[in-house]
Amino acid sequence: MKINLNRVFLNLLRLGCLLALVVIILGAYVRLSDAGLGCPDWPGCYGKLIVPEGSISQVEEMNLAYPERLFEKDKAWKEMLHRYLASTLGFLILMMATLTWLKPQFLSARLFSSILLVLVMFQGLLGMWTVTLLLKPVVVMLHLLGGLTILSLLYWKMLRQQSFGGFFVSESNIELLPIVVSALFILFCQISLGGWTSSNYAALACPDFPTCQNMWWPEMNFKEGFTLWQGLGIDYEGGVLNSEARTAIHMTHRIGAIITGVIISYVSFRAILTNAKYLRLTGVVVLILLITQLSLGVANIKFNLPPSIAVAHNGVAALLLLSLITLLHHCVSKKNNIL
């Protein structure tokens, strides 16, 4: 039986998208449950590739080897599950790259697969540095952005491949292209701010809403709050910034949410008011996801950052990004196969 390699490639892209999304959401859960250093070494866990069973003798041995990070089995498994799935995604991307370089019919996809392979290798390094540099905020933030970039590229290529196959075809609305690109840039900046807020443990710097510490403009230290490099040898778990610096980060994220909300709302309404079927549908999805995301942000504050809502906030951010990429797909001509 002849294998349809185009179908294989498309299915690898679909599986890659799903796996990348799961890895991002699981990564948020690991971070928010304080399990980012559940395994203090890399790539193994207390010197093992599989989390140790945790017998009394093993625990004593591990605690002696890593006295600064005592063994907690639940946290170790969360961290290692994230690493296993991330490694699986890396292998999947390697398969795609190999396929595009071995088969002449995928000549146009070689640049895409090569970029993706380089990105996933760098993402692996960021994962290692996240552990070895003790949750350094700038590394944690870059790790998040790297994961979202990989997800976005996989999703973009999947949309383009499907469009060439006659499914969910691009509607080539070039008129909306500038504002969609602008919205994507603004959202990426806002997600970066969210990553910086989370990695500096500033999500609860303002425990009330819409005010912050019962004030509209509390005391803040922007210089310290946005100093990207704080030095080496510091354990950042729990955060190291003072209250004024964390408040500055939190308030910047809030202001960014307002700006992002206005811009994406405008883009979604513009899409809804077009005559193109897929653009209208995607515009509705964008608006629903935006409202959901803003509501989850407020709920995080009102309910004191419960893990379920905090993880959902990360997941919906990723979905909102993908919905804007879908709009971008419908703005670009079917013949214009970027990457």
- Judgement on whether residues 6 and 104 belong to the same structural domain of the protein: yes
Tens digit of each residue's pLDDT (9 = 90 or more) over 56-83: 888 888 899 888 889 999 999 999 999 9
135 and 182 within one domain: no
In a shared domain, residues 176 and 67: no
Judge if 187 and 100 occupy the same domain. no
User: Which tens digit of pLDDT belongs to each residue from 82-135?
Assistant: 999 999 999 999 999 999 999 888 888 999 999 999 999 999 999 999 999 999
Determine the pLDDT at residue 230.
83
Q: Which of the listed residues 127, 153, 169 is the one where a domain comes to its end?
A: 169
Of 122, 141, 169, which marks where a domain is finished? Answer: 169
Are residue 143 and residue 187 in the same domain, yes or no? no
CB 187 within 8 A of CB 326: no
Q: Which of 22, 37, 196 is nearest to 127 (CA)?
A: 37
Q: Residues with Cβ < 8 Å from 35, sequence gap 6 or more?
A: 74, 75, 76, 78, 79
- Cα 146–chain centre separation: 7
The domain tally of the chain equals 2
Is 79 among the catalytic positions? Answer: yes
Domain that holds residue 161: 1-169
Domain closes at, from 169, 186, 208 = 169
Average pLDDT, the chain: 93
Q: What angle do CA 36, 40, 41 make, to 5 degrees?
A: 120
Q: What pLDDT, on a 0 to 100 scale, did the predictor assign at position 211?
A: 97
In this structure, are 192 and 296 located in the same domain? yes
Main-chain dihedrals φ then ψ at residue 215, nearest 5 degrees: -135, 155
CA angle 59, 62, 67 (to 5 degrees): 110
Alpha-carbon torsion (286, 287, 292, 298), positive or negative? positive
Task: Judge contact between 287 and 279, C-beta under 8 A.
Answer: no
- 164 and 175 part of one domain: no
Write down the pLDDT at residue 329. 95
CB atoms within 10 A of CB 76: 22
pLDDT of residue 60: 87
Residues 20 and 92 in one domain: yes
My answer on whether 239 and 339 are in the same domain is yes
Angstrom distance (rounded) from CA 312 to CA 29? 9
Number of residues assigned to the chain: 339
Task: Look up residue 339 and give its DSSP letter.
Answer: -
Q: Are 338 and 332 in contact (CB under 8 A)?
A: yes
Alpha-carbon separation of residue 194 from 149, 253, 279 (angstroms): 15, 6, 28
Residue ranges in the chain modelled with pLDDT below 50: 338
**Pair 178, 234 in one domain:** yes
Whether residues 279 and 135 share a domain: the answer is no
Among 60, 61, 79, 171, the active-site one is: 79
Let me know whether 208 and 260 are in one domain.
Answer: yes
